[in-house]
């Protein structure tokens, strides 16, 4: 497959889904950018509103080029549980072979990301998903430092436990699960095995990845440098937009800085 091809060369091969919850500003930016790069006649876009009941819901109702699902919630749900249930609502409705998961804080600037992702699955039918295990591109130096520090903490805690000392449980030092800010799933395979995104209280897709790999399927892991050459992602941007962090939290500052840059570049016009 030619990496410079356009999504329209794969008529209705894949659908796109994103979940909105009280993020009017970034949801609008995300969708406006998306609309610039796809032909919705060939690439269905699904948006699930998780009972936002705010201006973002009103905005979504004005868009005639998306398939909008408005979830009603009878009792409070944890954020990742609500997100997983929203994804499953779309999974059961789409009739395309592939489903691209993105977040409302994912800003796609290069349409070639779509054929690039598709080629990884189409060229190898054993690949069930393709994406990235990191949510931002830290660069070589920061990535090495993060990996080294996590590796040290992991084995230091294991040593303390082996010596009978009190210690927190060792956390994995290597990321192994694809992050759903931009992940393409072979939903045809997922459905064939009767699986879905939210199967327990873990982050949506984690158990699905475990189950599919146990069945012998592969996941294609892209480097941060590769995926972020096509898009930007605000780590935990949806949480920041909904006021989940304090005003001085580093992720809130990151969110505000990226929005300022987007406004300056005129992407909201």
Give the tens place of pLDDT for each residue, 78-135: 889 999 999 999 999 999 999 999 999 999 999 999 999 999 999 999 999 999 999 7
CATH code (residue 94):
3.90.550.10
223 Ramachandran zone, left/alpha/beta (phi>0; psi -120 to 50): beta
Could you tell me if 136 and 235 are in contact, meaning their C-beta atoms sit under 8 angstroms apart?
Answer: yes
**Which residues, including other chains, have CB under 8 Å from residue 254's CB and lie 6 or more apart?**
234, 235, 237, 240
Say whether both 46 and 160 belong to one domain.
no
Residue-wise pLDDT for 22-52, tens only, equals: 989 899 999 999 999 999 989 999 999 999 9
Residue-wise pLDDT for 209-268, tens only, equals: 999 999 999 999 999 999 999 998 886 444 444 444 455 645 556 656 666 666 655 554
241 φ/ψ angles, rounded to the nearest 5 degrees? -65, -35
Q: What percentage of the chain exceeds 90 in pLDDT?
A: 60
Say whether both 164 and 151 belong to one domain.
yes
Greatest alpha-carbon span in the chain:
63
Q: 231 is written with which tokens?
A: 């898009």
Say whether both 26 and 71 belong to one domain.
yes
Total number of domains in the chain: 2
259 Ramachandran zone, left/alpha/beta (phi>0; psi -120 to 50): alpha
- pTM, whole model, 2 decimals? 0.78
Q: Which of 148, 174, 200 marks a domain boundary? A: 174
Say whether both 223 and 91 belong to one domain.
yes
Rounded to 5°, angle at Cα 131 from 155 and 186: 125
Say whether both 50 and 112 belong to one domain.
yes
Residue 143 structural domain: 137-174
By DSSP bridging, strand 98-102 and strand 14-20 are parallel
């Amino acid at each position: 497959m030619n990496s410079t091809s356009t999504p329209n060369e794969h008529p209705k091969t894949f659908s796109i889904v994103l979940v909105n919850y009280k993020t009017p500003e970034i949801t609008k930016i995300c969708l406006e950018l998306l609309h610039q790069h796809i032909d919705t006649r060939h690439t269905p876009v699904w948006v699930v509103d998780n009972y936002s009941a705010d201006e973002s819901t009103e905005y979504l109702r004005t868009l005639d080029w998306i398939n909008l699902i408005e979830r009603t919630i009878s009792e409070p749900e944890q954020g990742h549980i609500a997100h997983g249930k929203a994804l499953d609502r779309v999974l059961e409705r789409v009739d395309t072979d592939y489903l691209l998961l993105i977040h409302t804080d994912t800003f796609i600037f290069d349409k070639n990301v779509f054929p690039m992702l598709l080629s990884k699955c189409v060229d190898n039918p054993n690949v069930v998903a393709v994406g990235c295990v990191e949510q931002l591109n830290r660069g070589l130096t920061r990535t090495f430092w993060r990996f080294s520090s996590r590796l040290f903490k992991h084995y230091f805690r294991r040593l303390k436990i082996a010596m009978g000392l009190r210690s927190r449980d060792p956390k994995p030092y290597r990321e192994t699960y694809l992050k759903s800010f931009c992940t393409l799933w072979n939903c045809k395979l997922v459905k064939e095995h009767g699986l879905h995104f939210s199967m327990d209280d873990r982050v949506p897709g984690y158990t699905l990845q475990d189950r599919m790999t146990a069945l012998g399927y592969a996941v294609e892991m892209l480097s941060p440098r590769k995926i972020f050459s096509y898009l930007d992602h605000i780590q935990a941007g949806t949480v920041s937009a909904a006021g989940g962090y304090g005003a001085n939290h580093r992720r809130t500052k990151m969110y505000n800085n990226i929005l300022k840059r987007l406004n300056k570049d005129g992407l909201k016009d």
